[in-house]
Amino acid sequence: MFVIYLLMGGSPTEQAPQQQPQATSSTSQANDLAEKCRTGKDANTDVECRIVGARQSVQAFWTKKLPEASGGRAEWQDTKMVLYNQPQRSACGTASNEVGPFYCPLDKTVYMDDDFFQVLEKQFGSSSGPLAQQYVVAHEYGHALQDQLGLLGRAQQDPKGPESGGVKIELMADCLAGMWARGAVETKDQNGRAFLKPFTEKDLRDALSAAEAVGDDRIQQTAQGRVSPENFTHGTSEQRQRWFMTGYETDDINTCDTFRASRL
């Protein structure tokens, strides 16, 4: 038994691949992307480069932040990402664009489909701005961090309902994404260059718009025409935005502890 950590609903194990995944495509694709996405300008203009830039920035952020926040007891473990446009095999089942982005704890990898943002935009009314997309990357890496800290099992024990471990884990990942957004601009590569240019108010609104679009209430309303809190797995639109802002404003990993929060 295992649970995968999705941004939205669904499970990759339920999906049949439309095409056989190609074993080598993710590696060669990663090399192509590294070649294609060398400059900050690329990261600002191309979706794939933006995702690659966000991945580098998120990992650099936690490499610096986690030892500080844990008093030296924890160090960030480098976490792979497979960015795909064809279905891919993961240890948690097939990754396809019907599933959406997820973190698989069994192979310690984030899976991102590059069509996902169009789905968010078209079906759920999210903004398509850069920080909307980068928030999704930071959220999935938040699950990787939870895995490293031994917290992910709490979602497994209690997956559904408005006060469930599942919802607490998801809102915590949103809060961790907010912490990254706050620190991202100051996060530099080995050459001292910032990964991302400073965020504007509009960028922040884009991120909140994405958080709103993936709230359980919004998704349920769109998919089934009504809201059923007993089936919540990720929290409401309001909660997801609020927890993202909590991380952004406090920059304190302790305030992201949704298991201890007096209000979810």
List interacting residues with Zn ion (CB under 5 A): 5, 7, 170, 173
Cβ 228 to Zn ion, closest distance in Å? Answer: 19
Tell how far CA 79 is from the center of its chain.
Answer: 13
Closer CB to Zn ion, 173 or 208, in the complex:
173
Contacts of 238 by beta carbon, 8 Å cutoff, 6+ apart:
215
Contacts of 68 by beta carbon, 8 Å cutoff, 6+ apart:
none
Contacts of 201 by beta carbon, 8 Å cutoff, 6+ apart:
none
In the chain, the N- to C-terminal Cα span, in Å, equals 27
252, two tokens: 């304190």
Cβ 7 to Zn ion, closest distance in Å? Answer: 5
Q: What is the gyration radius of the CA atoms in the chain, in angstroms?
A: 17
Task: Specify which residues 109 forms β-bridges with.
Answer: 80, 104
Closer CB to Zn ion, 7 or 204, in the complex:
7
Closer CB to Zn ion, 5 or 116, in the complex:
5
Cβ 8 to Zn ion, closest distance in Å? Answer: 8
73, two tokens: 């007891």
Task: Specify which residues 113 forms β-bridges with.
Answer: 84
Closer CB to Zn ion, 87 or 101, in the complex:
101
Cβ 20 to Zn ion, closest distance in Å? Answer: 27
Cβ 155 to Zn ion, closest distance in Å? Answer: 9
Closer CB to Zn ion, 43 or 144, in the complex:
144
